[in-house]
Amino acid sequence: MRATQQEIAQKLNVQPPFADAQQIDHEIVHRVAFIKQCLLNAHLKTLVLGISGGVDSLTAALLAQRAINELRADSQDDAYRFIAVRLPYGVQRDEDDAQACLAFIKPDEVHTVDIAPAVKALKAEVHTLQDGTQEHVDFVMGNAKARMRMLAQYTIAGARAGLVIGTDHAAEAVMGFFTKFGDGACDLAPLSGLVKNQVRTLARHMGAPENLVEKVPTADLEDLAPGKPDEVSHGITYAQIDAFLHGEDVDEDVSDTIIATYRKTQHKRELPFAP
């Protein structure tokens, strides 16, 4: 088990625990520099990111806005912009948290796209959904919501010649807890290699309010289980996932769950099959 634990952590490029505040500062500087270099390499000046109200998008947005601010200051070019996108499905139950995130991030621009009409229209046109159970259809349409959100972000990025930021990190990657070609699709993923608590630590270090830093994570994609916590879906906690990825001792059932889920979701972390 230990060898598999180490192999998974290595493949996901898991970063070791932060030793002190100086190392946290260094990590922020490093990831901001990464974002800046991605834009410079692409010869583009716009970043796009969906803001859900959770700590992952909050942290990625804080890094992105800082990167844009530095690029503007370095180049004296006001064309550099960060666009934060709200992507509710109708009325979002935790909209107040999303608005609180936006107020703290202070993005250059905020766009809102209600994905409900498009998702419902798609559902009405896909007649094979009529053959499924209510639970299965709800799951399939949950993935459709995630993909529609990414479609909206890429549409905005295309209109403004920008890059789309993803929020995947190691604790989600190991569990395959993202929608293939949905929130798993992006141009750059500045939180890669971090475990969940490290994402929270970066947000806290950048001054984010504690209620947003410690908000219960939820993908909130299921109509039949609104606001379902990620940890309920996992069957284990993020603290246990973080411990596993950092090479700590965890209960055998926790290790078995993580390894089995990692193997089952391997297809999500690979390129499409090719001859």
* Cα-based distances in Å from 10 to 71, 92, 193: 32, 37, 9
Q: Where are the alpha helices (DSSP H) in 43-114?
A: 55-75, 95-105
* Residue 27 designated active-site: no
DSSP string for residues in 174-242:
TTT-S-TTTTT--SB-TTTT--HHHHHHHHHHTT--HHHHTPPPB----SSSTT-BHHHHHSS-HHHHH
Cβ pair 45, 162 in contact under 8 A: yes
Q: Please give the Cα distance from 53 to 215 (Å, whole number).
A: 9
Dihedral angle computed from the Cα positions of residues 199, 13, 179 and 264, in that order, rounded to the nearest 10 degrees = -130
* Residue 56 designated active-site: yes
Q: What is residue 131's three-state secondary structure? A: helix
Q: Which residues of 214-229 are buried (b: 16+ CB within 10 A; e: fewer)?
A: ebebbbbbbeeeeeee
Our CA angle for 83, 87, 92, nearest 5°, is 135
| Active-site residue, from 94, 108, 168, 172 | 172
- What are the residues facing 188 on neighbouring strands? 165
Q: Please give the Cα distance from 163 to 49 (Å, whole number).
A: 9
| Active-site residue, from 27, 56, 94, 220 | 56
Q: Which active-site residues does the annotation give?
A: 56, 172
